[in-house]
Amino acid sequence: MANIMYWEAIRRAHDEEMERDPLVICMGEDIGVAGGTYKATKGLYEKYGAERVIDTPISENGYTGLGIGASFLGVRPIIEIMSVNFAWLAMDQLFNSAAKVRYMSGGQLAAPVVVRSPGGTAHQLGAQHSARMEKVFMGIAGLRVVTPSNPRQAYGLLKSAVRCNDPVFINEHELMYNMKGEVPDEEYFHPLEGSEVVREGRDVTLFGYNISVHWCLQAAETLSKQYGIEAEVVDLYALAPLDRAGIAASVRKTHRAVIAEEDEAPVGVGAEVMAIINEECFFDLDAQPVRVTAVNVPMPYNHTLEKAAIPSAGDVVAAVRKMFGK
């Protein structure tokens, strides 16, 4: 096992897939000469050249459309959108072209394109650079959405996405690029569907994805040590499709559920998970499911207000304590 950073895992996946297949290319702003805003393509420009590691203009709609069009002809682009906030500009290309082309062509065309983009709240970047947009992408039929919570997933999900014939959106978190974790030395492919139980428990299930998985793990330790509550933690790394069977199996085991997300509550991941719980295991519940979410406001720039707007491990603990009357 190699103990490497999140960004290094992404870079390694790029490198391996580009070395294996000359039709794998990279596109995005500052990914070439500069090596990427978060170093995820560092050194690839020097190794593969400007025709395969393409520095694009600041035109998300333009270069995303170019990459999707190339994918129709068999190229496998990895498109980096520097910040998910800017992905709004590429939605027409991604949602109306890539996500729908297989269905609308009767299977004659596919769009094997990967779009990676960092998002989340990353310390005083203001409302227009702190978007959490996973709920927008996961509602689009024909588009796969995954969100790695550790370097192993970041590596394995990107490799699987590159070889998938469906369009895949990979939602990364800006605060996780320097996180270290173990990645297999041998080639590893992570499933694009499912969920992972990252901590076994019996009393309540804590659901999270990307950064909120870590809040849930911290909360689970506190709950165990201070209150004798053993929480199970489930990592929802695949947001589209969501793992209905895995969600239901954990809730049937613990009979309680808390869903933690950095996004605002309305029409969010937590709302969809609660719908699944209601549909699949309503009569297994011993308490109503609870969402721990951000405050429904544009993200403040002020540090104190920003901190107050987003949830934490402490909020997850408080939600569970309230559920158990402790």
Query: What does the H/E/C string look like for the chain?
Result: CEEEEHHHHHHHHHHHHHHHCCCEEEEECCCCCCCCCCCCCCCHHHHHCCCCEEECCCCHHHHHHHHHHHHHCCCEEEEECCCHHHHHHHHHHHHHHHCCHHHHCCCCCCCCCEEEEEECCCCCCCHHHCCCCHHHHCCCCCCEEECCCCHHHHHHHHHHHHCCCCCEEEEEEHHHCCCEEEECCCCCCCCCCCCEEEECCCCEEEEECCHHHHHHHHHHHHHHHHHCCCEEEEECCEEECCCHHHHHHHHHHHCCEEEEEEEECCCCHHHHHHHHHHHHHHHHCCCCCEEEEECCCCCCCCHHHHHHHCCCHHHHHHHHHHHHCC
Spot the catalytic one: 129, 193, 221, 230.
129
Catalytic, 129? Answer yes
Catalytic, 303? Answer no
Distance linking the first and last C-alpha atoms of the chain: 41
Spot the catalytic one: 8, 29, 60, 196.
60
As annotated, the active-site residues are: 60, 129
